[in-house]
Structure 1
Amino acid sequence: MFKGFGDFLLTQRGKRFCFGLVCTTTAGTILAKYFPNTFFLEQYRDVVRLYKHGLSVSLPEELKERFAKTIGLVGIGEDELKLFKPFTVFGFDPFHAGTSYSRFGSIIGIPINFTYKDTDSIDKSMIKLKNESVPWGTEEAAELLDSFILSEEAQMYAIAREIKTADSAKLILDTLYQTIAIAGTYSLSNFINTKLNLYSRPRSMRMALYAFITIFMVGNYCVLKDSTQIHYEQQIDEFLKGRDPLFVKGGKDYYEKVLQRNRALRKLLGKEGENRFSSLGNENFFIRQRHVPLLHRKQFFEANLVS
């Protein structure tokens, strides 16, 4: 059966089938990235927003005011303000989806811990690790709890960071990289097959070629995507540093708390925590460097705070 299908792919009809499959896959990849960030942005928000007793948690007034103050400091024009819609997101990390380059705008997720004033105001029963209760009597659990309390400056930095990311071309570039990777894999394979007449050679030779080209294109995609991510992270931090001294202190405070949280999670999660986080609180990545190390981002703001 496999041999028969392989022989079919060598025919003109089979080649047209492969071309159609690649076109469909490329289009599907673009739409899978495009639709949730445009036409289905509201539905996407409903998936990631915070719920309590089956009802969505509305954004508290104090956070609406903080968001408005932050977006004003960032320098978003009045005609673009409507493109950024805040909401309460699930979890303890700020979030964004969509882009200001689209008429659908962007959603900015603000976590509920931005309302915490002190550790006594935290509902510990709502916090789970791997669906289990946290051993609150331990030192690392106390550190975790304290890491959820953020200064107003730290909150405003985190919100500004998401606004500026949504206001960048990153989403467009990520979609472009995926498209190039898929279409490029097919085009390069087809070119080499035709140029070297590999269709008349053993199937194992073509399979080896496809594997090599796939690895090559995936590697290029990862390098481009990670380089773009790091570029925008550095660019946004540089922009916010020069925008207002509040963001300098806020960036330093924010990453200090995130590193503290990660160190606590490293101990609380055991082996999984050691795999996910370093002893300093940075995220561990296998081969790829997906983000600027958190410690470096904290040190960047610290250096500018001193000067």
Structure 2
Amino acid sequence: MSRWSKFLLEWNKVIVGSILTAGSLAELFCFCSPETLFLKQYKYLMTYKEMEEPYPLTSKVDQAKYEVFEDLIRKQRLTQKQLEKIDIVINGDMNNPFHKGNLHSRFGTFIGLPIAFTFNTPEEVPMDNYRIGQTLTIEDGTQEGAVLKKSIILGKNAVKYALLHECLLTDSYYMQIKFGLIVTCISGCATFMYTSATKMKFRSGFRMLATIVPGCLVYGLVLLQFWCLYKRWKDAKVDEEVAEFGQDYVLGGLEYYSQMVRRNKALYYIMKDNTKDFFTSSGNEKERLLWNDRVPVTAKRDFFKEKMADMNET
């Protein structure tokens, strides 16, 4: 036996353990740092810019922000100090609003609103550079293009609803739960790999991989289902809370999701020959088999339709 082989046999546990520990820490850092240590840089990256300067909030968005923040304070849902930790930027995508970080993190949070929120008329919508996950060139003058343009325009109540929805999501442990599941997944997979490499006796490396890979995949998929379930539950709970803020927000939610259904239907017919077909003919986002973390748009529209009907009855 060579000196090198003897060294590997004697120190295999230390070598495997060190490699897995270093790899796990590096992976965790890559997942967590954008929303914590590098949140400011991440915000700058996600902000739409003109001439290298962040795109300013328009009067419609600025007024909606003012009213939403006033309502959050009036309802004693958030304090002025908490609201100061929320920064709002315009994102160049036409997709949905999003947030990164949260109010329970020492690094704060920011909300990204789609550039579509700044448009007031269909004529302002750029059809030659339409971004929704990917950049599309949409033929102007077509029936689908006309429907798409009209579906993008949102009133102030719809913008207020979307902004309030994201503000309430920032006041959760959304980020901490996500990172907790990531830590659990990576550490569990690393422990399984370490045990397989040092404790179990395999006759070949292929058999070891045939055990490790499926085991880690199944374990990761189980945790992913917990995450998807939590996201759907939290989204539904926030919508219930939004409805308690009054008729303006219920009308805004109804308008927002009605417009989104129209937008998605138009995009379905525009993109149906595209290899990346993201939508269904009913106006929902296409569900993925193992990653279903969104409440269907039509279900959210119907929720606010029912809330509006209940308000009219009373």
TM-score interval, smaller chain = 0.7 to 0.9
2-structure distance, mates of 1:301, 1:12:
65
Conserved in 2, the CA contact under 8 Å of 1:278 and 1:284?
yes
> Is the CA contact 1:265–1:273 (under 8 Å) kept in the aligned structure 2?
no
Q: How far apart in 1 are the matches of 2:46 and 2:300?
A: 26
Residue 284 (structure 2) aligns with? 282
Q: Residue deviations 1:92-148, cap 9 Å, x none?
A: 232211111112211112223223222234454553686553211111100110111
Call closer, same or farther: CA 1:29–1:8 in 2, change over 3 Å: farther
Find the residue that maps to 1:107 and give its secondary structure.
strand
Structure 1 residue 224 corresponds to structure 2 residue 222: no
Counterpart of 2:19 in structure 1 is 21
Residue 68 of structure 2 corresponds to 70
Alignment of 1:1-307 (within 5 A): 11-74=9-72, 75-92=77-94, 93-124=96-127, 126-127=129-130, 131=135, 133-191=137-195, 198-199=200-201, 201-272=203-274, 275-288=277-290, 289-307=292-310
Report if the CA contact (8 A) 1:66-1:156 is conserved.
yes
Asked if structure 1 preserves the Cα contact closer than 8 Å seen for 2:60 and 2:156, the reply is no
Q: Distance in 2 between matches of 1:10 and 1:259?
A: 60
Alpha-carbon distance between aligned partners in 1 of 2:10 and 2:167, rounded to the nearest angstrom: 50
Q: Cα gap change, 1:168/1:16 in structure 2, threshold over 3 Å: closer, same or farther?
A: same
- 1:216-248: CA deviations, max 9, x gaps? 212112112111211111111111112322221
Equivalent residues of 2:109, 2:170 under 8 A apart: yes
Distance 2:18 2:237 in 1: 40
Offset, 1:10: 7.2
Amino acid corresponding to residue 253 of structure 2 in structure 1: G
CA distance in 1: counterparts of 2:303 and 2:153, whole angstroms: 22
1:227–1:131 distance in 2 versus 1, CA, 3 Å:
closer
Q: 1:202 to 1:239 in 2, by over 3 A?
A: same
Once the two structures are overlaid, the 10-residue window that deviates more, 231-240 or 59-68, is: 59-68
- Is the contact made by 1:8 and 1:14 (CA closer than 8 Å) also made in structure 2? no
Quickly say closer, same or farther: Cα 1:34–1:68, change in 2 above 3 A.
farther
Q: 1:9 to 1:34 in 2, by over 3 A?
A: farther
Matching residue's letter, 1:144? L
Contact persistence 1:177–1:221 (CA under 8 A): yes
Question: What is the deviation of 1:155?
Answer: 0.7
| Residues 138 and 106 of structure 1, relative CA distance in 2, 3 Å threshold | same
Which blocks of at least 5 consecutive residues in structure 2 are unaligned?
none
Percent identity over paired residues: 21
* Aligned-partner Cα distance in 2 for 1:174–1:60: 33
Paired with 2:164 and 2:221, the residues of 1 have a C-alpha distance of 32
Cα offset, 1:293, TM superposition: 1.0
Separation in structure 2 between the aligned mates of residue 34 and residue 77 of structure 1, nearest angstrom: 27
Could you say what secondary structure the match of 1:258 adopts? Answer: helix
Letter paired with 1:219: L
Deviations, residues 56-108 of structure 1 (Å, cap 9, x unaligned): 21223442231121133233112211110111111123221111111221111
Distance 1:21 1:274, change over 3 A: closer
Question: Matches of 2:69 and 2:182 in 1, distance apart?
Answer: 31
When structure 1 is superposed on structure 2, of 252-261 and 237-246 the one drifting more is 237-246
Deviation of the 1:177 alpha carbon: 0.7
CA distance in 2: counterparts of 1:10 and 1:229, whole angstroms: 45
Which amino acid counterpart does residue 266 of structure 2 have in structure 1? A
Query: What value does the CA root-mean-square deviation take over the aligned residues?
Result: 2.6
Q: Is the 8 A contact 2:92 2:131 kept in 1?
A: no
Distance 1:119 1:270 in 2: 23
Q: 1:132 to 1:216 in 2, by over 3 A?
A: closer
